[in-house]
Structure 1
Amino acid sequence: MTVLASALDTTSPEYAAHRAAMLAKLDDLEAAHAKALAGGGEKYVERHRARGKLLARERVELLIDPDTPFLELSPLAAWGSDYPVGASLVTGIGVVEGVECLITANDPTVRGGASNPWTLKKALRANRIAYENRLPLISLVESGGADLPSQKEIFIPGGALFRDLTRLSAAGIPTIAVVFGNSTAGGAYVPGMSDHTVMIEQRSKVFLGGPPLVKMATGEESDDESLGGARMHARVSGLADHYAVDEPDALRQARRIVARLHRRKAHPDPPAARPPRYDAEELAGIVPGDLKTPFDPHEVIARLVDDSDFDEFKALYGTSLVTGWAALHGYPVGILANAQGVLFSAESQKAAQFVQLANQRDIPLVFLHNTTGYMVGKEYEQGGIIKHGAMMINAVSNSTVPHLSVLMGASYGAGHYGMCGRAYDPRFLFAWPSAKSAVMGPQQLAGVLSIVARASAAAKGQPYDDEADAGLRALVEQQIESESLPMFLSGRLYDDGVIDPRDTRTVLGLCLSAIHTAPVGGARGGFGVFRM
């Protein structure tokens, strides 16, 4: 039997403490999500409704198939910045007429849907997900273009949005634009470069320059409707492929466009799978509040994979990294999960071999992070930790099967890289509220700075101010701690969302389904030189 046995004691004080700490973090997460849901605030939401318009998420809800999930991505974009949480854009994956699509929707209650630097980052991330997974891209457009005060950060990199649309189309990935209001200046190229464009009577306004700009540039008098209205574009310019009478009609027509795409997934959906034998609710009490306390990743795996069935690979070798084979919602996966946190030479070599095996079998990889990084010290340096860590990073870097990463606990140093952090292009990366990620732990980083400063003072023959040192260490620890937290990192789009641990199986299942829209294939010997 390869079904995992659980030793989790849900009646213990430790479990209760871990659960309480996680629930407190989830309350903070819910409050942050509420800010994104609030959009521009009650005043602007009511103004938008008074115009007879739907909100961004209401448009998404009407677009996707009834009673199907919408996996929202990057909902905390711009958290901790000067811009509203959510970055005035909703992005995610939903099913339209049975087809998984990448959907973006401008939030016009936030500065008229204008794009700020975080909007751009979020939109580019969505485009990349659509491209990698061959998901049709549906843009629900209502935006005044760039937020002009921040144009210096948007204008030059912002051209990539339009480049992406053309590359998606060239790759045979359909692009659809539904224009609900303004789509002006550079934003006019979204409907202009999409394969299919739907415009709404008396609502859609698409022009490179509005009447005031035209007046300034040419002296010509014009109005919105003759310059860029839906009727003009449907009858005169030909920009509008479909003419809708209102928002529900526009969304209905978008659904019909998708229905006529005749899209087929590269891989058929797997048969129904058995759920795990253990309750997902228990995932809320596994990760300790103090990440220096280790936890057994087998307990997590047992609550994620089908039937809690897990075939472990090299179970007795390199035991601080758990590797093995399982299925998740019927999709085969290879799993790499940190156990005791530190990656030694044995774990690194084990990981490299396992990644190669997954590529031979065309099996996606799931990385479950809880690592403080690669081991340091004279013994380990002499034992080759650098070349062995490099071997693991080499394998992960050149692997071509899809990767999914979940930051459960610590994800520090080069261990973050070896476990396929954001810079290593996982198809999707999510974090639990318990996660932390930085170059190293706050105490270690502050301590290193203190040692260096003390050595510098000694070399100069100067006395060292221990009181000032203690104050500096406290400040550094506080800064690193705040910059390591998942909401801070999610605000900068270093992940695709902070999720409730209890939703992890569902989230990964939705991602695996989207991934299998595109062909899944592993590298056949296409790895760099492994230093032995």
Structure 2
Amino acid sequence: MSDPRVENRMFWEEEERKLDELMYRAMWPGGEEAVQRLAKQGKQPVRQLIQKLIDPGTEFYELGVIAGFGMNYPDVEDVPCGGIVTGIGKIHGNWTMIIANDSRVKAGTYFPITLKKHMRAQAIAEQCGLNCVYIADSGGAYLPMQADVFPDDGHFGSMFYNMARMSAKGLKQITLSTGGNTAGGAYIVFMACQAVMIDKLAYSFLGGPPLVKAATGEVISAEDLGGARVHTQISGGADYFCKTQDEGIQIVREILSMEPPQKLHIHRYAEVPPRVPVETIYEILPAKIHQGINVRAFIQAIADDSHFIEYKKMYAPGRGDNIVTGKIRIKGIPVGVIAANGLGIIFVEAARKATEWIIRCCQEKIPLLFIQSSPSYMVGSESEHMGIGKYGADMVRAVSCAQVPKIQLVIGPDNGAANYGMCGRAYRPHFLFSTMRARTSVMSGRSAAEVLLSIEERKRAASGNPMTEGEKQAFRQKMIEKYDGEAHPFFCGARLLNDRVLKFREIRDWLAFAFEVSLLKPIGEPAFGNLRF
């Protein structure tokens, strides 16, 4: 007889192998040939520069790695990694947001997904109080899509708006220009608190030589128009002159060497490794996405000493325990947990318990971890009469108003209003991580298929052309494939509906990192609107 734990492990390891393959494609666009082209220009791959920028022996926590695949833009199907590398690393001991163009992807030009990723990184930096380093080498906006990247809020100009506002808050904006920065892209240099330019590699101008010639008749080289010497010695638009990328990296590190050390705004206890190995996650999470889970076993695999202080454990068994609440420590950091359990359907009792616990943690100024594997709130007349609408709304209100750091981790179904109550993207968690088991959509493929099929059947019957059984099955299957495909972590990750798809063995380390970064700013006082009791 087969062992389901072994089968689960084999399944998830194979799924994570597919993730590895996609991440490799994201990190090596163009392969070795593209690396050689960079070398001929005196440039290094951008991640190599980042490794030299961060403190030796420390990790770069890269975000949004699988962004940009399957976007199907005009003449461009994929934008590997969104054309830009973003993530957080330590510089002189301080966590710092790093945003770096990858010129191997369409010369570093900005597609809609590139903008979204750039500004998501800036949003994290502002929310967590991080300095920003920009490694700039971009051809500017992707001109065939100018209407989608230039004029609106959230488009190209918003990058510089964000730089200005973060600088006003005391968050340093440092730019190392390692290539061309043209038109609006020039502001990545000029809007920086301090900017470094590399001789014969870096150029920055509002209009390049072709535009200058067309507009004024002047013929001038890129170097004489806006090279490193021009802006560090004549215009004053940049501040530091260097001759190589390595020298530029060292200057950036020197600029940030005088920053005061960051402080964690919570008491951090000594770390105790889990007694239950994190590897057991591969065995305890079912390969079938909609099969119920034992979330307490999952929590034991990520918590210090596998210790979980559960709140209201005995409350309304079979209904109240579809949401599990309590406290753990992750690498010494105290964390309040709201976790979907079993099939994850949220009953009235579970919603009330979750709301109560969110508010308690906010009063105690303890950060929150939402472990999401819930397909929905309970529906039907019984639940409606018991107040699932109002108690679900209370849960959503509590999540919306929670002033403590919030992180969502998706390990299963993530559908409908349960996405709201469990702190989905719209509720601005500091970080949102998915796993290969995550499925995020308005409803499951099967549910969507039945709803849409009933509509299609009525339309066809009204027109005097009722559907055959074969047509019904084909329609149903088409809808299942569409909705389940759009719920897949690759689809969601490509569109930056999560900050990273984590392997199970990475979860504890990444959560510890994310909570540490999220706790660098003081936690404010709790304030909630009018709850419906």
Q: TM-score range by the shorter chain?
A: over 0.9
Letter of the 1:225 partner, please give it. E
Work out whether 1:510 is the aligned partner of 2:505. no
Q: 1:38 aligns with which of 28, 39, 49?
A: 28
Work out whether 1:364 is the aligned partner of 2:367. yes
Q: 1:294 aligns with which of 288, 292, 304?
A: 292
Spell out, residue by residue over 1:282-327, the C-alpha distance to the aligned partner (whole angstroms, 9 max, x if none): 1122221112211101111111111111110111121111100111
2:74 matched residue in structure 1 = none
1:53 matched residue in structure 2 = 43
Q: What is the identity percentage for the equivalent residue pairs of Structure 1 and Structure 2?
A: 36
CA distance in 2, matches of 1:371, 1:497: 20
The alpha-carbon distance between structure 1 residues 75 and 395, as it changes in their structure 2 partners (threshold 3 A), is same
Decide whether the 8 Å contact of 1:41 with 1:109 is kept in 2. no
SS in 2 for 1:358: helix
Q: 2:83 aligns with which of 63, 84, 88?
A: 88
CA distance in 2, matches of 1:210, 1:240: 17
1:435 matched residue in structure 2 = 438
Decide whether the 8 Å contact of 1:207 with 1:227 is kept in 2. yes
2:102 matched residue in structure 1 = 107
Q: What displacement does 1:379 show? A: 1.4
Work out which structure has the larger RCO, using CA pairs closer than 8 Å and 6 or more positions apart in sequence: 1
Q: What displacement does 1:459 show? A: 6.7
Deviates more, 1:343-352 or 1:447-456: 447-456
* Structure 2 unaligned blocks of 5 or more: 72-76
1:305 matched residue in structure 2 = 303
CA distance in 2, matches of 1:216, 1:187: 20
Q: What displacement does 1:460 show? A: 7.2
Q: 2:7 aligns with which of 6, 17, 33?
A: 17
Tell me the TM-score normalized by structure 1: 0.95
1:342 matched residue in structure 2 = 345
Deviates more, 1:436-445 or 1:117-126: 436-445
1:97 matched residue in structure 2 = 92
Decide whether the 8 Å contact of 1:90 with 1:107 is kept in 2. yes
2:16 matched residue in structure 1 = 26
Q: What displacement does 1:464 show? A: 4.2
Decide whether the 8 Å contact of 2:310 with 2:326 is kept in 1. yes
Spell out, residue by residue over 1:217-257, the C-alpha distance to the aligned partner (whole angstroms, 9 max, x if none): 11112111211111111111112211112111110010011
Q: What displacement does 1:465 show? A: 2.6
Number of residue pairs the alignment of both structures matches: 520
SS in 2 for 1:39: coil
SS in 1 for 2:230: helix
CA distance in 1, matches of 2:49, 2:65: 16
CA distance in 2, matches of 1:44, 1:386: 55
The alpha-carbon distance between structure 1 residues 180 and 457, as it changes in their structure 2 partners (threshold 3 A), is closer
CA distance in 2, matches of 1:121, 1:236: 34
2:68 matched residue in structure 1 = 78
CA distance in 2, matches of 1:100, 1:144: 28
CA distance in 2, matches of 1:390, 1:270: 33
Spell out, residue by residue over 1:82-108, the C-alpha distance to the aligned partner (whole angstroms, 9 max, x if none): 232201100000001111000011101
Tell me the TM-score normalized by structure 2: 0.95
1:336-485 alignment runs, 5 A limit = 336-340=338-342, 341-455=344-458, 463-485=466-488
SS in 2 for 1:142: strand
RMSD: 1.6
1:531 matched residue in structure 2 = 532
1:144-183 alignment runs, 5 A limit = 144-156=139-151, 157-183=155-181
Decide whether the 8 Å contact of 2:64 with 2:86 is kept in 1. yes
CA distance in 1, matches of 2:231, 2:467: 73
CA distance in 2, matches of 1:40, 1:419: 39
Q: 2:282 aligns with which of 281, 284, 291?
A: 284
Decide whether the 8 Å contact of 1:430 with 1:496 is kept in 2. yes
1:324 matched residue in structure 2 = 326
CA distance in 1, matches of 2:455, 2:179: 58
Work out whether 1:62 is the aligned partner of 2:52. yes
CA distance in 2, matches of 1:521, 1:309: 28
Decide whether the 8 Å contact of 2:264 with 2:516 is kept in 1. no
CA distance in 2, matches of 1:462, 1:233: 72
SS in 2 for 1:303: helix
Letter of the 2:237 partner, please give it. L
CA distance in 1, matches of 2:264, 2:441: 37
Deviates more, 1:469-478 or 1:278-287: 278-287
Spell out, residue by residue over 1:447-476, the C-alpha distance to the aligned partner (whole angstroms, 9 max, x if none): 122233445556777644322111100100
Decide whether the 8 Å contact of 2:140 with 2:183 is kept in 1. yes
